[in-house]
Amino acid sequence: MNIFFISENFGQFSEILKLTKFPKIHLFSAPIEYAEVIKQLRMTLFPIAKPESTDKTLKLNLEFLKTFVDSSKYIFQEFCLLQDIQHQKPMLLSDSNRKDYDIEGYIELESHLFSGMFYVCFNKETYLKVVEHVLMEQASEINPSNVDFVAEIVNMIYGQSKIALNQSGHNFKKVIPQFTVNPMPHQTTNIVTIVPIDTSMGTIDLKIELIKNT
């Protein structure tokens, strides 16, 4: 029996993922477009070879998402000294919410269970405000003297998340964070979840993309 669940309450997902008596439960984070729901239903009920995504991938995405969101909020508060930190509702990446960013840091995720990517994305205004606040240096442009800052943020979030996830046996590997200035819009057939983090200096978007290993 397949069970499909759509909710706007981020906390409910964690409780649902603990349920073991419903092996075929499928989770959707609201808001979600009608066409995306239909696509997921069709893929679940009438599977085809090499589907774009599965319910297991989405469950895995949501499990890791909470860890990375909590770690990000902690780093933004303790290292960046930002205030009024709150995350918005998680959403699946689609054409309607795809954004252009001025800079993003990212790091590869890899274990025996999955591979994927984690991104921290900024617009120019927010990034420069955070750079000035943390480094105490005036910055009017994203330039070679401050681009490494986003990679350092990603590295700290990854390190914080890795501690918690490795305790569950995921065995994260040591990897080097990277960054891209004026990145191309995200294009992929994999499930990508976006969580905007509102702060006193602007909104910072998190993106997590996971691919379940076969």
The pLDDT assigned to 166 comes to 77
Burial class (CB within 10 angstroms; exposed 0-12, middle 13-18, buried 19+) of 103: buried
The pLDDT assigned to 53 comes to 43
The pLDDT assigned to 27 comes to 55
Same domain, 83 and 34: no
Query: How far apart are the C-alpha atoms of 36 and 33, rounded to whole Å?
Result: 5
| pLDDT average, residue stretch 127-147 | 92
Q: Of 54, 72, 91, which closes a domain?
A: 54
| Run of H or E including 148 | helix 148-166
Same domain, 41 and 84: no
Indicate the pairing of strand 202-212 with strand 192-199: antiparallel
Same domain, 176 and 202: yes
The pLDDT assigned to 64 comes to 75
Burial class (CB within 10 angstroms; exposed 0-12, middle 13-18, buried 19+) of 204: buried
Same domain, 49 and 63: no
| Run of H or E including 198 | strand 192-199
More confident residue, 98 or 7: 98
- Split at pLDDT 50, 70, 90, the class of 165 is confident
Same domain, 23 and 128: no
8 A C-beta contact, residue 154 and residue 118: yes
- Mean pLDDT, the chain, rounded, equals 79
Total domains in the chain come to 2
DSSP string, 66-135: HHHHHHHHHHHHHTS---S-EE---EE--TTT----SEEEEEEEE-SSEEEEEEEEE-HHHHHHHHHHHH
- Split at pLDDT 50, 70, 90, the class of 155 is very high
The pLDDT assigned to 171 comes to 74
For 26-71, write each residue's pLDDT tens digit: 555 566 666 666 655 555 554 433 334 444 444 555 667 888 999 9
Same domain, 207 and 141: yes
* pLDDT higher than threshold 70 for residue 182: yes
C-alpha count within 13 angstroms, C-beta hemisphere, residue 75? 24
More confident residue, 29 or 83: 83
- Split at pLDDT 50, 70, 90, the class of 16 is low
Query: How far apart are the C-alpha atoms of 64 and 61, rounded to whole Å?
Result: 5
Q: Which domain holds residue 74?
A: 59-212
pTM: 0.69
